[in-house]
Each structure stands twice: as structure tokens, then as C-alpha cells.
Amino acid sequence: MPRVRRIQTEELPEAELIRRAQNGDAAAFERIYRLHGRRVYSLCLRMVGNTAEAEDLTQEAFLQLFRKIETFRGESAFSTWLHRLTVNVVLMRLRKKTLPESSLDELTEPEEEGGGARRDIGGPDPLLSGSIDRVHLQRAIEQLPPGYKMVFVLHDMQGYEHNEIAELLGCSIGNSKSQLHKARMRLRELLQEQERERARAKRQASRAEPAD
């Protein structure tokens, strides 16, 4: 009688892995973790800017996935569904840090709440798109206030629309646009400060070099 070869989880398509994980197959869930863990960690790291916290949030995201994977119905790509689940996990953590002090709406400056027409300040900013050194940009993003950082990461880095951000953060669409505008303005200032620092360090290094 021919021997039947046992199919390894590495050979299974993702849809079958998900089905098995939904039925409690630990090996299938472990495979899903290996397939998506790095991407989830990278997303967490971009949003919080701290490696230890990103690792903790990655574990929390997969714990939530373990609890909720049965609710996945395939109406969107699994990666998209997991992405949103992860964003929600991170936002819940950030809310616990920031909301006792002030809500996102409260961060809006008084003059922006006037009755005049609001300028559309949520459009793309070409000066912050692709032309900036990624290392320096990430360093500047990490210096943003939490409210600014959340909206900037969600909109400019993760591609969420303002109505989606408003729903995720529990704020108005106008407030999301306002926070994004402020984040971009602050990033410009931080990047300019970094550029001045590099130029200053270069001049000092040049002066320190011995003359021929």
C-alpha cells in the first residue's frame, strides 16, 4: 500500500491556512504568524517609533488575530484585514496614553473652529513625498506630538482616507485634515532644523581639518 505523504503547512495556500486556523489548527496559525509577522512589526514600528513597544504590539496584534480570526469572511484580502486589525490595536494603545489628557479634537487650535469656510488642507504635500532621506524623515516623525503623528502615519504612510481616519480616531474629518496639515508643517520645521545641524557639523569638521 503506497504511503500517503503528509502535507506540511508550508505547502498550503493562504486560504487553506486561514480555514485551518479558524478551526483551531495551531500549526496553521503559526504559519500565518511567520508569513505576516515581519509586516505587522514594521507597521507597529512606523506608528510608535519604538522597537520594544513595536514588538509588544505585534504580539498583541496576533493575540487579537487568534481571538478574532473566525470573524474573517474573505470580503477583503487577509493582509488588508490584518492591517486594519493591527492599526486598531496600536490606536487603542496610543489612546490610553493620550486621551486622558486631551482628545484629538481638543488639539485643534481655536481659530480653526470658526464659522468661516475651512481651507482644504488635506491634499498631498510634494515636499514630503519621496524627496526626503527616509532616515531623517523617520527621525522627524518620531518627534511629532502623538495626535499629529497618528494622522500623518495613517494618511501619508498607510494611505487611509480622512473619513477612515475620522472613524478610527473618533474625530471629525475636518480635524483629521487639520492635524495632517499641522503635522506636515511641523515636519518641515524639524527637517529644516536637521539640515541646519548637518550643515553646521560639516562646517565645523571642515574647520577642524589641518591645513596643507
Supply φ then ψ for residue 6, to 5 degrees: -75, 130
Res. 124: pLDDT tops 90: no
Q: Which three cell numbers stand for residue 81?
A: 484585514
d(CA 1, CA 184) in angstroms, rounded, equals: 69
Q: CA 188 to CA 59: how far, in whole Å?
A: 34
> What span, in angstroms and rounded, lies between the C-alpha atoms of 190 and 46?
18
201: pLDDT strictly greater than 60: yes
pLDDT at 178: 92
In this structure, are residues 79 and 38 in contact, taking their beta carbons and an 8 Å threshold? Answer: no
130-164 tens-digit pLDDT: 445 667 777 888 888 878 888 888 888 888 889 88
- Per-residue pLDDT, averaged over 84-94, amounts to 86
In angstroms, the CA 146 to CA 149 distance is 5
The domains located in the chain, with CATH, are 10-98 (1.10.1740.10), 122-207 (1.10.10.10)
- Residue 111, classified by CB atoms within 10 Å of its CB into exposed (0-12), middle (13-18) or buried (19+), is exposed
Binned at pLDDT 50, 70 and 90, residue 198 comes out as confident
The pLDDT of residue 12 is above 80: yes
Question: Which pLDDT band, with edges at 50, 70 and 90, does 33 fall under?
Answer: very high
pLDDT for 108 equals 38
pLDDT per position as a tens digit, 64-81:
999 999 999 988 889 989
